[in-house]
Amino acid sequence: MRELVEQLASGHRLDKKSLSALLTACATDSHVLQLLRDNAVRTARQQFGLGIFIRGLIELSSYCRCDCMYCGLRRSNRTAERYRLTTEEVMACCKEGYNLGFRTFVLQGGEDGTHSDEWLVELISHIRSLYSDVAITLSLGERSEESYIKLKRAGANRYLLRHEAANEELYASLHPSSRGLQHRLACVEALKRAEYQVGMGMMIGVKGQTIEHIAEDLLLIEKYRPEMVGIGPFLPHHATPLGGEPAGDLNLTLAAVAIARLILPSALIPATTALATLTPRGRLEGILSGANVVMPNLSPSDVRAKYAIYENKASWGKEAAEGLKALESELQTIGYHIDFSRGDFNNLKQ
């Protein structure tokens, strides 16, 4: 396994068989996992030093037209509490975040049918006009190419659209009534054409997923070379069909994060909230596997519990300001600090 890690770390590609073997070894052998993570951390430090970029997450809406098997916001979940933020509420989140030093806002939400291009263009333009130096990231699911272009012109810079599963059958089993994997990938391609910095990624440990599937996910990421890669463990939500399934495995998630870092040295990779929810040290373990971004929540405190894609989402408490201090102290325990710059993708060192 040592050779496989060394090959990856020196920029060589691994095929599906080798990636699967490495992932399997990492899930069971702590020495292999540690070697992989050490290499990923070294690569991340060469790229970013000890600074961790922060992104302020604003959860726009819990209404969703999709019916993803794993997600608590799925339309069939009649018990989900639904809300949608008004323009004024979003602007208040941005104001608070900007004053705290955030220079990226991530507008994420379910696929809310009322989020028309017109409404979003106005919202994005408004943010852009008040805060010319921030990056605006969108994570609003599948939209038309025309829509992506309009939102980009209004001032958005980045778009997170995890591919969720590179394997057609797995994708179909997780997303009934969706337009399928090929459509999801067509959206990713449309976003690239529109010149967004694009984020892809997947959950680890969702029902039906095998080690080989994760290897396929990593190969898809290698093929598309997205600027951002989000990888977190699956977490069960009781009111979904996968509510009785176990959560994803920590070590396998850390291994996948580390491999993503070695495949794409300069990618922006978050230590995801799902990882922090799985285990209290999750965020730090993510960083110690090569992640270099965290996404604190800027949503109004009264709606946070309602944006329940999974349950018991980790957060630093209700106040964003307190949260930021807590994050800085947490990072200090492993020798890192918050980097308050915008943190755009920069592939000069790749």
Contact 227, 197 (CB under 8 A): yes
**110 is a site residue for ligand SAH (CB under 6 A):** yes
**55 is a site residue for ligand SAH (CB under 6 A):** no
Q: Nearest 5°: CA angle at 44, between 5 and 135?
A: 135
Query: In sequence order, what are the beta bridge partners of 202?
Result: 164, 231
**262 is a site residue for ligand SAH (CB under 6 A):** no
- Kindly indicate which of the ranges 22-30, 44-52, 228-236, 328-336 contains the residues binding ligand SAH, using the contact rule CB under 6 A: 228-236
The interface mask with ligand SAH, positions 154-183, x = CB under 6 A, is -------xx-x-------------------
Candidates 8, 200, 218, 235; binder of ligand SAH (CB under 6 A) is 235
**203 is a site residue for ligand SAH (CB under 6 A):** yes
What are the tokens at 288?
């110690």
CB atoms within 10 A of CB 78: 6
**310 is a site residue for ligand SAH (CB under 6 A):** yes
Least distance to ligand SAH from the beta carbon of 232, Å? Answer: 5
- Kindly indicate which of the ranges 25-33, 95-103, 107-115, 291-299 contains the residues binding ligand SAH, using the contact rule CB under 6 A: 107-115
* Sequential DSSP letters for 266-321: T-B-B--HHHHHHSTTHHHHHHTTT--EE--B-S-HHHHTT--SSSS---S-S-HH
Query: Which residue's C-beta sits nearest to ligand SAH?
Result: 141
**139 is a site residue for ligand SAH (CB under 6 A):** yes
Least distance to ligand SAH from the beta carbon of 283, Å? Answer: 15
Question: For residue 68, which of 152, 224, 180, 214 has the smallest C-alpha distance?
Answer: 180
**231 is a site residue for ligand SAH (CB under 6 A):** no
Contact 217, 234 (CB under 8 A): no
Candidates 134, 231, 309, 327; binder of ligand SAH (CB under 6 A) is 309
CB atoms within 10 A of CB 245: 17
- In this structure, are strands 56-61 and 337-339 parallel, antiparallel, or unpaired? unpaired
**70 is a site residue for ligand SAH (CB under 6 A):** yes
Least distance to ligand SAH from the beta carbon of 108, Å? Answer: 5
Enter the DSSP assignment of 77: -
The residues binding ligand SAH (CB under 6 A) are 70-71, 108, 110-111, 139, 141, 161-162, 164, 203, 232, 234-235, 237, 274, 309-310
